Amino acid sequence: MISPRSKEAGRSRSHEIFRRATDVLVGGVNSPVRAFRAVGGEPIVVDRAAGARLWDADGNEYIDYVCSWGALILGHAHPKIVQAITEQARRGTSYGMPTELEVELALRIRKALPSCEKVRFVSSGTEATMSAVRLARAATGRDLIIKFEGCYHGHSDSFLSEAGSGLATLGIAACPGVPKALAELTLNAPYNDAAAAEKLFDLHRNKIAALIVEPVAANMGVVSPKPGFLQALRDLCTRNGALLIFDEVITGFRMCYGGAQTLFGITPDLTTLGKIIGGGLPVAAYGGRRDLMDRVAPLGPVYQAGTLSGNPLAMSAGIASFDLLAAPGFYESLEVRAKRFGEGIVAALGETGAPATAVRAGSLLTLFFSREPVTDYAGAKKCDTRRFAEFFRAMLDRGIFLAPSQFEALFVSAAHTDAEIDHTLAAFCESLATTS
C-alpha cells in the first residue's frame, strides 16, 4: 500500500512560489500545460532533479515520467552530460559564430539519419517545423500544406488548427490571432486516414507544397500509424510532387538510434528534430536532401537565422548524448524497461477493470481513459478527461509525476530502475481503483 500524501499539506512553498509567479508570468507559467488547468490544483514547482526523480520546492520526491516532455532519455543530470556542459561553459556559453561542435553533432545526425544530407540547427521544435514548411513552399512554388488532426508541430501560425497537445488540453480548436487567409493554407486530414489525404491532393491538384506528419503521433496521446499509412503518404507526395516532412521532434532518437523513419523504413524529404538531440538543452534542427537544404541562406534565398542557433552548450550536450545513445545495447535495454512497464499497465487495467486502454510505441506510452482503442484525434477527444484528472492527482499524491494532460505521452528513460517501475505499477493499481 502506497500511502497518498495530503493534497494540500507539504506543498506550501510551491504554493507561495506559484502565487508570486501568477503576478509576473502569464498564468504563472511559461508554457500552458504546466499550469495544471486540465487536472486541477496547482503545479509542482521543481527545485532539482537527478536520474528518474524530481524534488519540488518543498522537498517532496517524485518519480518522473515527463522527462522534460521526452527530451531526457538518459534521465536528469546524467554525469557525462553535466560534465560536457560544465567544460564548455568554462570556454564560453555563446559566441554567435561557427564552432567545430556544430559540425560534430551534424555529422552524428547524418550518420544516423541518411535522409538528412545537410542540417540546420535552430533553438526550438517550432522553429524547425516552421522553417521546414517555408523551405518546402519555396522549393515547390506552392502554398498549401497538409497536416493531420491531433498532430502538434509547434505554435507557428500554420499549425494551430486541430493541433492536439496543449491546444487539446485547453480545449482550443484553433488560435485567435492567426489570420484567416493564412489558416486557409493549411488542410487537415484525420490521422491514419491516407484516403482522406489523397482526396485533399485531388481537390487541390498541383497546389500542395508539403505534407507534414508525426510518424508516431505523440501529441494527442500516443497513437501508432496503421500498417501501410506512412508508405501511402510517401507515395502520395512522390506522385503529386509534394514534399514529405517527418516531424520527429519527439520520435527522433527515442524509438531507436535514428528515428521512426529508420524503424519504419520510410525516407522523408525533410525531417525536423528536437528534444533528445540537445541532451536537455534548447536545440532543434531541420534537415533533408542536399538540393533542398542548399536553398536555405546563405546558399539560397530562403531566409532563416538565429543568434543562439548552434549554441555551444547545446552542441556539447548533444554530442555527449549521442555518444551514450550509440553504445551497444542502449535501445534494447530501454525497450525491455518500457515493455515491462507497458505490460504492467495492461495487467493493472485487467486487475482493476478500469475503463481505459494502454498504448505503447517504444518508450512512449499513454493511458487513454477510453474503452475503445484510439487511432485518431476524434477517438482521443472522446476520452474521459475528468477521470484522467482524478487519476493524475491520485498518482501525484503517491509520488508519481505524469504529464498533466490526457493528450500527452508518458516517457520511460534509461534512468528508470526496475524498482521504480514496480513502485509506479503499484501506484497505478491503487490510483485506478480510486477512479474506476
Pick left, alpha or beta for residue 420 (phi over 0 → left; psi -120 to 50 → alpha; otherwise beta).
Answer: alpha
* The pLDDT of residue 104: 98
Residue 294 is a catalytic residue = no
* The pLDDT of residue 181: 79
Give yes or no for residue 177 having a pLDDT over 90: no
What does DSSP assign to residue 145?
E
* Residue that the C-alpha cell 551497444 belongs to: 328
- The pTM score is 0.93
Q: By C-alpha distance, which of 432, 341, 405 is closest to 69?
A: 405
* The pLDDT of residue 122: 97
What does DSSP assign to residue 247?
E
Grid cell digits, residue 392: 493524475
H-helix or E-strand spanning residue 418: helix 418-435
pLDDT, tens digit (0-9, with 9 covering 90-100), for 236-290 = 999 999 999 999 999 999 999 999 999 999 999 999 999 999 999 999 999 999 9
Give yes or no for residue 345 having a pLDDT over 90: yes
Can you spell out the DSSP letters for 259-308? -HHHHHT---SEEEE-GGGGTTSS-EEEEE-HHHHTTBTTTSSB----TT
Which position has the higher pLDDT, 175 or 87?
87
* The pLDDT of residue 186: 93
Query: Alpha-carbon distance 265 to 258, whole Å?
Result: 11
12 — phi, psi (to 5°)? -65, -40
Find all residues with CB under 8 Å of 339, minimum gap 6, and list them: 360
* The pLDDT of residue 183: 80
Per-residue pLDDT averaged across 167-196, rounded? 79
pLDDT, tens digit (0-9, with 9 covering 90-100), for 113-146 = 999 999 999 999 999 999 999 999 999 999 999 9
Catalytic residue among 147, 275, 377, 381: 275
pLDDT, tens digit (0-9, with 9 covering 90-100), for 351-379 = 999 999 999 999 999 999 999 999 999 99
Find all residues with CB under 8 Å of 409, minimum gap 6, and list them: 70, 218, 219, 221, 222, 250, 364, 365, 366, 403
* The pLDDT of residue 340: 97
* The pLDDT of residue 184: 85
Give yes or no for residue 300 having a pLDDT over 60: yes
Grid cell digits, residue 237: 507526395
Contact by Cβ (8 Å): 145, 186: yes
Q: Can you give the length of the chain in residues?
A: 436
Beta strand pairing call for 243-248 and 270-273: parallel
Residue 275 is a catalytic residue = yes
Residue 247 is a catalytic residue = yes
pLDDT bin (cut points 50, 70, 90) of residue 176 is confident
Catalytic residue among 62, 65, 147, 247: 247
Local structure of 45: helix, strand or coil: coil
Domains detected in the chain:
12-64+328-435 (3.90.1150.10), 79-325 (3.40.640.10)
Grid cell digits, residue 33: 500545460
pLDDT, tens digit (0-9, with 9 covering 90-100), for 218-234 = 999 999 999 999 999 99
CA dihedral 311, 316, 322, 324 (to 10 degrees): -150
Catalytic residue among 62, 65, 152, 286: 152
pLDDT bin (cut points 50, 70, 90) of residue 48 is very high
